[in-house]
Amino acid sequence: MRNVSVTMIILTILIFISGCSLFTEDAGQQSKQENRVEQKPDIKTNSFPEEESKEITSTDISKQFYVQSEKENKISIINLPSNQVVSEIKTGERPANVVFEYESGNAYVTHRNGNSVGVININEQKMIKEIEVGIDPHGIALSKDESELYITTVGDQYVYVIDTKKNIVIREIDIGNGAKTNYPFVYEEKLYITDHQNHLVYVIKNDSVIDAYKVGGPPMVARTNAEGSLLYVASSSYGAIEVFDTNTGEKVNEIYSGDDVTDFVIDDGNSLLVATNKNENSVSIIDLTIDKIIKKVEDVSAPKHISFNKDKSKVYFTLSGSNKVVSIDIEKMELVDEIEVGSKPHGIQLKTEY
């Protein structure tokens, strides 16, 4: 009896151990299945250990720069954030500046030697029409509702107004004898026109000149702050950004930038201004809270026009003394990108919609 009891005890223990083993194996299989279904990324690397990372290439055409090459008569299209030239568009002679009219799906580019404005179909990426304007068309701007396009011509005293639905010149704004129109800027109902020859900025409303601001040097690009209360003017040989009160027309400030300051951008908070100094081969980063240069990026070849990227983390600008576009990281305040485009790049414009 004692032997039988011992035998029974041993059998019971073996059955119990076997059952535990099966339970553990089933639990392990279930755990593996759950891991396959609910696999989570490694917290440190934020990546799945069994998957290889994939390079993401931007195909979003709303994140592109158009850069005009004066020497090669073309526009280079740069994709962001890859910074790669993905396409080129043939233009008329000596393309300068471009704007986008999103409702029609067209872009417009001034042809300085062609005395015309090219109409570009954005989807097809080709020029579909040329509109004849005055001598040496240079600057370009859209009205607030984008129904009209304002073209400034360096060679005469007129601003040519184009209907963006019909793509024809519908009228001319006469600035006055001896005037030379260079760059336009629109804020609400006001149109600001720089005259580099007479050192003036004209204020136009309802097609009439209502005021003119005298600046210290040939004015290039002019832009208002976000509220439209101040007009900033790049006064090239004067080496400064001159600031005017748009209500009184009085000059209220001037901020040193550098020799031949040409173009600039202002951030959304009106706290930072970045300007190109063409003859000085430099770019100034200016703190508008103290009106001082906080960083000057040097040894860049004849920087001309400038634009923020979409989130304003970088500024991109053309080097008209080369065939390059370069960028500055705003936070680091240093050069970070260099992109080859057509020879003698002039304007640069971010396509922000579409």
Residue 260 covered by a domain: yes
pLDDT at residue 353 in the model: 61
Residue 270 lies in a domain: yes
- Is 291 a domain residue? yes
Range of the domain at 231: 215-343
- Does 198 lie in the same domain as 219? no
Q: Which helix (H) or strand (E) holds 180?
A: none
**Whether 165 and 198 share a structural domain:** yes
Choosing from 160, 189, 209, the residue where a domain stops is 209
Q: Is there a single domain that holds both residue 163 and residue 185?
A: yes
Q: How many CB atoms lie within 10 A of CB 198?
A: 18
317 and 220 share one domain:
yes
Query: Rounded to the nearest 5°, which phi and psi values hold at 23?
Result: -60, -45
Domain boundary among 181, 209, 237: 209
Into how many domains does the chain fold? 2
- Asked if residue 192 is part of any domain, the answer here is yes
> Residue 51 CB: number of other CB atoms within 10 A?
9
Is the backbone peptide bond immediately before 137 cis, with ω within 30 degrees of 0?
no
Does residue 78 belong to any structural domain of this protein? Answer: no
Strand, helix or coil at 11?
A: helix
* pLDDT at residue 64, as a whole number: 94
| Cα 109 to Cα 89: distance, rounded to the nearest angstrom | 11
Smallest CA-to-CA distance from 257 within 209, 193, 306 is with 306
To which residue do tokens 């609910």 refer? Answer: 38
**Residue 148 within a domain:** yes
Cα–Cα distance measured from residue 323 to residue 193, given in angstroms and rounded to the nearest whole number: 29
Same domain, 235 and 314: yes
Helix (H, G, I), strand (E, B) or coil at 86: strand
- 219 and 258 both lie in a single domain: yes
Q: What pLDDT was estimated at residue 234?
A: 98
Contact 256, 240 (CB under 8 A): yes
Q: 177 with 297, same domain?
A: no
Q: Are residues 200 and 219 in the same domain?
A: no
pLDDT for position 10: 44
User: Distance (Å, rounded) from C-alpha 81 to C-alpha 76?
Assistant: 15
168 and 281, same domain (yes or no): no
pTM flag (> 0.85): no
| Closest by Cα among 200, 278, 198 to 233 | 200
Query: In this structure, are 160 and 228 located in the same domain?
Result: no
Residue 61 confidence (pLDDT): 55
- Note the pLDDT tens digit of each residue in 310-347: 999 999 999 999 999 999 999 999 999 999 999 999 99
Q: Which regions of the chain are under pLDDT 50?
A: 1-59, 354
Same domain as 250, residue 164: no
Q: What is the C-alpha to C-alpha distance for residues 291 and 308, in angstroms, rounded to an integer? A: 20
CATH number (domain holding residue 105): 2.130.10.10
Residues 112 and 203 in one domain: yes
CA 190 to chain centre: 23
Examine the fold and report which residue of 194, 209, 224 is the final residue of a domain before the chain moves on: 209
Q: What pLDDT score was predicted for residue 55?
A: 33
- Does 45 reside within a domain? no
Side chain identity, residue 162: I
Q: What are phi and psi of 137, to 5 degrees?
A: -65, 135
Measured in whole angstroms, the distance separating CA 354 from the mean position of its chain's CA atoms is 14
Residue-wise pLDDT for 219-262, tens only, equals 999 999 999 999 999 999 999 999 999 999 999 999 999 999 99
The per-residue pLDDT for 352 is 75
Inside any domain, residue 47 = no
